[in-house]
Chains A and B, each alone.
Chain A
Amino acid sequence: MMHYRRALAALILITSCLVAPVSAVAQPPSAEEVLRRAERSMFPDSFVMRATLRTLESGTEASSMQMDISYKRDVGSRIEILSPARSRGIRLLQKEGALWLFNPMAGTGQAIRLSPKAAFQGSVFSNRDVGDPQYSAQYEVTESDQEVLDHPQLGQVPVLVLVAAARGPDAAYSRVKLFVRASDYLLLEGEYYAKSGLLFKRQLFTDIRELAGRQRPTTMRMVSLDQPNRESVMSIESLQEKPALPDSMFSLAALTR
């Protein structure tokens, strides 16, 4: 009898261990979880990246900027501009809802605080678009749906559509609509809305390739719907996952050194 009870207990334990993961897989992730997975499909939680940002007007290159971006989830991001020569050495520090700019050639030796909602260095991207890829911290999902997206690289793709509202006034946009590939939660397209409800920017994520251990988009094309002939394109040249980035490198004290 004792042996029977032990065998039954073992059977229940083994069965529950087998069933639990199956039922977890069967449960589709919540919309908030999809959003978190989508932002992780873009970037690791802690990374160093080199990227080029080009702004085009009527198809002609108006400006080009190369920069190094260091980012740590829930801590902050730090950007150093490498070119053009006029902006070389400028550093930006962004954390939560704040942004500082330090120009070593300005002569003051002092970082100045700016609004993170402003445009990034004259591009169509906002400061937060470039320095803070953590959508889930800025926006709360209010609706989700499924549809098929016509993607220029992937063709017809089944996607999950997430509509998310800004959690606070610090967010760059009042509302965002994100199109996430259903099979692996890869972010493929974003629409960005003003407080008035007007759609005024659209971003397309393309050139998907292996980067820092998984498939990621390496080109982000942000189009201004206010000025249809104007767009900014960010191209990732290299991306390295760096889990050991010290928090102190995202401090104001480190920004001016």
Chain B
Amino acid sequence: MRSRLPLICIVALLGPLTGAALYAQEATWLGDVQVAAQDAVSSTDPVLSSAVGMGPGTQGLAGVVQLDLHGRLSYPMGQLSVIDAATWWQGSDGGTLQNDLQQAWVSCAPDPALTIVVGKQRIPWGTGYAFFPGDRINPPMNPQDRAEGFYGVSATLASSASFSLAAVVRMDSALAPISTLPGLAYPAGDGAASLSFLAPYVHAAPADPWLDLRYAIYAEAFLGSLDLHAAVTWQPARVLRPTAGFSLDVLGFILDGSVAVELQDRNLYPQPDGTYSSPAFGVPFPAATAGVQRTVSWETGSFAVTLEYLYDGTGYDPDQEARFLGDLETALGAGSGSSLAAGSLASGAWFSSGEIVPALGRHYAAVSLGASVSRWFATDAALVINLQDLSVAVQADLVLTPLDGIDLFIRAIGAGGPSRRTEFASLPVTVVATAGATVHF
């Protein structure tokens, strides 16, 4: 998972990789260095802003230097791949160096149709753009807006270009307690365990290591222009979620949809008596998505729009959501809430421009607009709306590309809602503005 490592650890990672590269048939290194200034504005609510150590409505200026590196070494029998990000952050409270090893795996192909991958990895899952309710194998975006992998083994059989079958065993799924919150139902360490008012209801992780393993079978078939997938994820006493979905090109409009049902939901739900509890095994919690994507291009540029809707039955209904946010506010006000949890709410997956992970509610919509004029600039905006409480999180980017290999960018992230007890309005940070340059190599 994420770790704060000194520079020597990054060197220790790159050293062996450089050595391995000497024996590779083909070595590919690519990435970028980003230098930026970031200004964050905290919530005007004193309780929420205190969760991230800021006064109400105040600004915090920081400098950020970030290195993203992707290395791929090819050998006669397989590959070695590493995706790593190192961020040096300098704020008013001093500087930190943080390293995110997103993926690091080796693959072996005993047959051209069979690939076995061991290590920290992600597997391609789903046919949508923003929401993947059937995916309970890949972790969601981390608070740094990066897609981390899971530790495990996968075997993918691609018997033809149009059919593939993957079997996955995830081995790191026991790092969190069993009961979690909607949207944080992954063993990321930032979930329910750190919210002290929920601690009495959270079950400890199972002691039996065999119960810690999570399994998935994922099949994908391509028929004409119809892309189909079906999968099931299972972990004893934790997850049982079959899912299926499709995407289809209809006159340039890419339609997508998926359905999933969770039969072993371990989320904690507020009860009328003031406690929290998880539902019994076998109670079905359905989820579904529907979306459309359209790209219009011309010789000098393009414009793309994506719309996607999510119904997630494992989320809270309006009463449950208001109740949870009220409990969170009370806990933070009393000093018994966790700033770690609140911090993850502030900077986490809600602001993701790629995979958008819904959180507390049941009905969401994602809207993405992007335009580019080749050679000069690209701009895009992504919006996530909690349709239940009408709160909104939005991210907008403008990237100028005057020179080969160098981007100048401005990014604004904002969140708000009709009242404080709505999902996105309850975040400790309401606006983050970033400006900087990216050098690609």
Confirm or deny: A206 has a beta carbon within 8 angstroms of a beta carbon on chain B.
Answer: no
| B162 contact set on A, CB distance < 8 A | 95, 251
Q: How far is the CA of A118 from the CA of B374 in the complex (A)?
A: 14
| Contact, CB under 8 Å: B115 / A254 | yes
| Contact, CB under 8 Å: B249 / A119 | no
| Contact, CB under 8 Å: A114 / B300 | no
| Contact, CB under 8 Å: A114 / B254 | yes
Q: A89-B28, A105-B30 are in contact. Are A113 and B302 (CB under 8 A)?
A: no
- Taking a contact as CB atoms closer than 8 A, the residue among B28, B256, B354 that contacts A107 in the complex is B354
| Contact, CB under 8 Å: B375 / A122 | yes
Confirm or deny: A215 has a beta carbon within 8 angstroms of a beta carbon on chain B.
Answer: no
| Contact, CB under 8 Å: B252 / A98 | no
Confirm or deny: A110 has a beta carbon within 8 angstroms of a beta carbon on chain B.
Answer: yes
14 contacts between A and B (CB under 8 A): A63-B374, A96-B222, A98-B225, A105-B68, A109-B149, A117-B252, A118-B296, A224-B299, A247-B113, A248-B160, A251-B162, A251-B164, A253-B156, A253-B158
Q: How far is the CA of A10 from the CA of B216 in the complex (A)?
A: 67
| A54 CB to nearest chain B CB (Å) | 12
Q: How far is the CA of A121 from the CA of B299 in the complex (A)?
A: 9
Name the interface residues of B336-370: CB closer than 8 Å to any CB of A.
Answer: 354-355
Name the interface residues of A217-252: CB closer than 8 Å to any CB of B.
Answer: 224, 226-227, 230, 246-252
Confirm or deny: B81 has a beta carbon within 8 angstroms of a beta carbon on chain A.
Answer: yes
| Contact, CB under 8 Å: A118 / B225 | no
- Taking a contact as CB atoms closer than 8 A, the residue among B70, B103, B161, B298 that contacts A76 in the complex is B161
Confirm or deny: B146 has a beta carbon within 8 angstroms of a beta carbon on chain A.
Answer: yes
Q: How far is the CA of A24 from the CA of B300 in the complex (A)?
A: 49
Name the interface residues of B271-321: CB closer than 8 Å to any CB of A.
Answer: 293-302
Q: Which residue of chain B has its CB nearest to the CB of A226?
A: B299
| Contact, CB under 8 Å: A97 / B300 | no
Chain B residues packing against A (C-beta within 8 Å): 28, 30-32, 68, 70, 79, 81, 83, 102-103, 107, 112-113, 115, 117, 122-127, 129, 138, 141, 145-147, 149, 156, 158-164, 166, 220, 222, 224-225, 227, 247, 249, 251-252, 254, 256, 293-302, 354-355, 372, 374-375, 401, 404-405, 407, 440-441
Give the size range of A's interface with the partner. 35 or more
Q: Which residue of chain B has its CB nearest to the CB of A248?
A: B158
Confirm or deny: A108 has a beta carbon within 8 angstroms of a beta carbon on chain B.
Answer: yes
| B164 contact set on A, CB distance < 8 A | 248, 251-253
| Contact, CB under 8 Å: A122 / B301 | yes
| Majority DSSP secondary structure for residues of A touching B | loop
| B401 contact set on A, CB distance < 8 A | 86
| Contact, CB under 8 Å: B70 / A86 | no
Q: How far is the CA of A52 from the CA of B156 in the complex (A)?
A: 33
| Contact, CB under 8 Å: A86 / B404 | yes
| A50 CB to nearest chain B CB (Å) | 13
Confirm or deny: A75 has a beta carbon within 8 angstroms of a beta carbon on chain B.
Answer: yes
Q: How far is the CA of A107 from the CA of B84 in the complex (A)?
A: 10
| Contact, CB under 8 Å: B405 / A85 | yes
| Contact, CB under 8 Å: B254 / A115 | yes
| Contact, CB under 8 Å: B113 / A119 | no
Q: How far is the CA of A122 from the CA of B372 in the complex (A)?
A: 9
Q: A108-B354, A115-B295 are in contact. Are A86 and B124 (CB under 8 A)?
A: no
Q: Name 18 extra pairs, CB < 8 A, besides A105-B68, A122-B299.
A: A96-B225, A107-B145, A109-B147, A113-B227, A113-B256, A113-B293, A114-B295, A115-B252, A121-B374, A122-B375, A169-B251, A230-B300, A247-B160, A248-B160, A248-B161, A251-B163, A252-B222, A254-B115
Confirm or deny: A88 has a beta carbon within 8 angstroms of a beta carbon on chain B.
Answer: yes
| Contact, CB under 8 Å: A119 / B161 | no
| B258 CB to nearest chain A CB (Å) | 13
| A133 contact set on B, CB distance < 8 A | none
| Contact, CB under 8 Å: B138 / A253 | no
| B247 contact set on A, CB distance < 8 A | 113
The 0/1 profile, CB within 8 Å of B marked 1, for residues 78-118 of chain A is 00000011101100000111100000111111111111111
| A222 CB to nearest chain B CB (Å) | 10
| Contact, CB under 8 Å: A89 / B70 | yes
Q: How far is the CA of A255 from the CA of B297 in the complex (A)?
A: 24
| A251 contact set on B, CB distance < 8 A | 158, 160-164
| B61 CB to nearest chain A CB (Å) | 25
Confirm or deny: A256 has a beta carbon within 8 angstroms of a beta carbon on chain B.
Answer: yes
Confirm or deny: A257 has a beta carbon within 8 angstroms of a beta carbon on chain B.
Answer: yes
Q: Which residue of chain B has its CB nearest to the CB of A124?
A: B299
Q: A107-B146, A248-B112, A253-B220 are in contact. Are A113 and B156 (CB under 8 A)?
A: no
| A7 contact set on B, CB distance < 8 A | none
| A174 CB to nearest chain B CB (Å) | 13
Confirm or deny: A154 has a beta carbon within 8 angstroms of a beta carbon on chain B.
Answer: no
- Taking a contact as CB atoms closer than 8 A, the residue among A55, A62, A88, A170 that contacts B249 in the complex is A170
Q: A104-B70, A108-B355 are in contact. Are A75 and B161 (CB under 8 A)?
A: yes
| Contact, CB under 8 Å: A85 / B115 | no
| A124 contact set on B, CB distance < 8 A | 299
Q: How far is the CA of A170 from the CA of B293 in the complex (A)?
A: 16
| B432 CB to nearest chain A CB (Å) | 17
| Contact, CB under 8 Å: B161 / A109 | no
| Contact, CB under 8 Å: A252 / B220 | yes
| B124 contact set on A, CB distance < 8 A | 109-111, 252-253, 255-256
| A105 contact set on B, CB distance < 8 A | 30-32, 68, 70
| A107 contact set on B, CB distance < 8 A | 102, 141, 145-147, 354
Q: How far is the CA of A176 from the CA of B440 in the complex (A)?
A: 39
Q: How far is the CA of A256 from the CA of B123 in the complex (A)?
A: 8
| Contact, CB under 8 Å: B112 / A246 | yes
